[in-house]
Structure 1
């Protein structure tokens, strides 16, 4: 199959907000606004909540109500076990996101009882707005992408229908695909990937049109593009992904997951997307972090001031301190001190604020969601080579012990997140 690409050259450049900046400059002329002016001439005003009414799709089942604009919510990925709605309310968050693995257990069990789906449906019933991503984990299952018309494809579509029966009209946003490029075999990350996901998307569109001919609450987005900060992450397949979004009126945009090592890298990532999305199309950022930067410092020695204050051997490594916190959760003050005294972390304490502002100032952000709690998979098998996702969440429920009934938190992220709800 030929590629359908409307690729445009990167003429807008990296937003200057992605470069190191002082707080004074950040509060003045934001570099992300320059990206907005260059790449999205008619972009809307950034917002922290609901936004303008987007043009409806040209067929039945089009979404109803206002489209989100610049909202910030929380993400639990696949595991909501440690999250409760009181925690979400304490953050003043209105959006909750998770994903469901599209595996064969959905064929024989009620999808509505699957833990991520059940929690999102519960969230919806409790007044939260919800985002569900459909994850097709072909790589971890050792499977190839099914071909259109095959028995394998028919099985996938029946599975999709079972999930749609449970969530369509109840979720606010449905994302078709979680991280397709990371969940597909390397040798299939080309047009074959596009063909599969486009076929699923057309199926979902047809389902919504048939079941909700007079309009549907659920908006449709395509899943996340990964590793766009690097040239090797930008391929004909990623160009075709954006082209498909642009030419389908029923698809409102796409998702991105910029897990990067710097704001500069995030700027390149965002620039790629906003310079290619057509007017009226938006993006989600349902996952984002500096985890690649944290990973580069796991073998650093513990800060001398921290070692002295807490009587830790000076040759102790960062990953070992985190391991100690996992094994025996720290008091809140000790966890805060560990991070504040670590230059690799403290120098990025404004990351969450700057990243969300970068997203919003493009005028194209629909919703961003940030990790809410430390889940079991983040601590399982902890060691020197474990990716430190555990440093990302707002709540440090597995590295900080509960005090006076209050769940532990990574204070700098928690406070930044709350402030961003009011900005």
Structure 2
């Protein structure tokens, strides 16, 4: 995509003089491998992270309303996206998880139901009261509703600002991190994924910053991030708009960093995400990874025949396809052993059983990870309309609560992810 003009615009969309202040990579070093040790770039300078994701001792951004709580550094938590209905705090504590993340859609439901009644808001405030630290992302689903980005000063923008204010009134000072935007480039109409997107989100960010400064002049618990960038492993997605996104984060002291969602088909692709971000973020800025997975790899194998060993053990026709096994588990949840066998016997899954460990290590070894959150539970939307071409998000979560039957009061797991997650809390 081409920048609309060589002139830079401020958050209100008004041109200002000078050239765009785009953050340039501080290193062109390419990733030579995918282990945690392979992710070494000039931008990945040490930031004082302690083992196990303990809080950083770096100073907070200067100025009024600066965050008052300790800054997270290398933490690992859980994510429920929009649906917390199956999220159980006892199960989260069994994982030793201390962080919980979800998102709230900034839609007309906020005009009628209100922010305090939104499922994600209710769950995160409850989580906070139960000793968890929390992240809320504000999702603007313009693509889903086929609506253009509101222009600054328009009635549509005023509507958005009122919705933002409702959310801020409910969560500012109560959540630990507020992320402005969920997946802005995917949630904006394709022909508007340029400077117009930047202007909208920068304007929203300035509004949020001003709200926090006005309402919490002596300091506020809630830290601010911009999120989240997608498909950074694809050259065509690294645009002037993504460069401007990072540049805005760098020049705003009130914004502590940005979010990424590396849903990929390999660790190499995830490494490209990370290298892009850490080579551009200024010193003191960090990143979140509130969603990440190998779902694009799983997708490539949904039409594969099932493993012979699995077919023989469970007396399944050998021409059965992977997606059909998952569909059977959705209809009639498997015993834990059968779900584990299905995954570990599959040649597309078995070589990646250490994915979660390696991915989190990669994030942490940059020294710039604030918090990463991984899918906690299988939510209803993962199984609705299941078929051969459905995105197999259902393989990702730590708890396999919809494909594994509950036994002796214990909820089903995706055992390899569950065990890796727990081990990472102590590493």
Q: Please state if 1:11 is matched with 2:27.
A: yes
The aligned counterpart of 1:31 is: 38
Cα deviation 1:118-162 (Å, max 9, x = unaligned): 000000111100000000001111110000111110110011001
Contact 2:45 2:367 in 1 (8 A): no
Contact 1:46 1:360 in 2 (8 A): no
Q: Please state if 1:323 is matched with 2:327.
A: yes
In 1, the alpha carbon distance for the partners of 2:243 and 2:281 equals 10
In 1, the alpha carbon distance for the partners of 2:243 and 2:21 equals 6
Cα deviation 1:311-360 (Å, max 9, x = unaligned): 00000000000000000000000000000100100010000000000000
The partner residue of 2:101 within 83, 97, 101 is 97
| Residue 113 of structure 1: how far off its partner (Å) | 1.2
In 2, the alpha carbon distance for the partners of 1:357 and 1:336 equals 24
Aligned-partner SS, 2:348: helix
Matches within 5 A, 1:309-348: 309-348=313-352
The partner residue of 2:407 within 403, 407, 410 is 403
| Residue 60 of structure 1: how far off its partner (Å) | 1.6
Matches within 5 A, 1:190-229: 190-229=194-233
The partner residue of 1:295 within 299, 315, 319 is 299
| Residue 17 of structure 1: how far off its partner (Å) | 4.3
Q: Please state if 1:73 is matched with 2:77.
A: yes
Q: Please state if 1:378 is matched with 2:385.
A: no
Matches within 5 A, 1:161-310: 161-310=165-314
Aligned-partner SS, 2:151: coil
Larger mean Cα displacement after TM superposition, 107-116 or 354-363: 107-116
In structure 1, list runs of 5 or more residues that go unmatched: none
In 2, the alpha carbon distance for the partners of 1:363 and 1:54 equals 12
Task: Assess, with a 3 A threshold, how the Cα gap between structure 1 residues 127 and 9 changes in structure 2: closer, same or farther.
Answer: closer
Contact 1:59 1:209 in 2 (8 A): no
Contact 1:47 1:71 in 2 (8 A): no
The aligned counterpart of 1:54 is: 58
In 1, the alpha carbon distance for the partners of 2:136 and 2:399 equals 21
Cα deviation 1:359-412 (Å, max 9, x = unaligned): 000000000000000000000000000000000000000000001100000000
In 2, the alpha carbon distance for the partners of 1:119 and 1:205 equals 24
Extract structure 1 runs of 4+ deviating beyond 6 A: none
Aligned-partner SS, 1:347: helix
In 2, the alpha carbon distance for the partners of 1:72 and 1:17 equals 23
Contact 2:292 2:374 in 1 (8 A): yes
Larger mean Cα displacement after TM superposition, 102-111 or 273-282: 102-111
Q: Please state if 1:130 is matched with 2:146.
A: no
In 1, the alpha carbon distance for the partners of 2:277 and 2:168 equals 28
Cα deviation 1:21-41 (Å, max 9, x = unaligned): 6xxxx7xxx212x23xx2233
Task: Assess, with a 3 A threshold, how the Cα gap between structure 1 residues 267 and 46 changes in structure 2: closer, same or farther.
Answer: farther
The aligned counterpart of 2:144 is: 140
Cα deviation 1:34-66 (Å, max 9, x = unaligned): 23xx22334333542332233333332110121
The aligned counterpart of 2:353 is: 349
Aligned-partner SS, 1:367: strand
Task: Assess, with a 3 A threshold, how the Cα gap between structure 1 residues 312 and 10 changes in structure 2: closer, same or farther.
Answer: farther
Aligned-partner SS, 1:284: strand
Q: How many residues align?
A: 411
In 2, the alpha carbon distance for the partners of 1:328 and 1:108 equals 38
Cα deviation 1:259-283 (Å, max 9, x = unaligned): 0000000011100000000000000
TM-score (norm 1): 0.95
Aligned-partner SS, 2:352: coil
| Residue 10 of structure 1: how far off its partner (Å) | 7.0
TM-score (norm 2): 0.94
Matches within 5 A, 1:143-158: 143-158=147-162
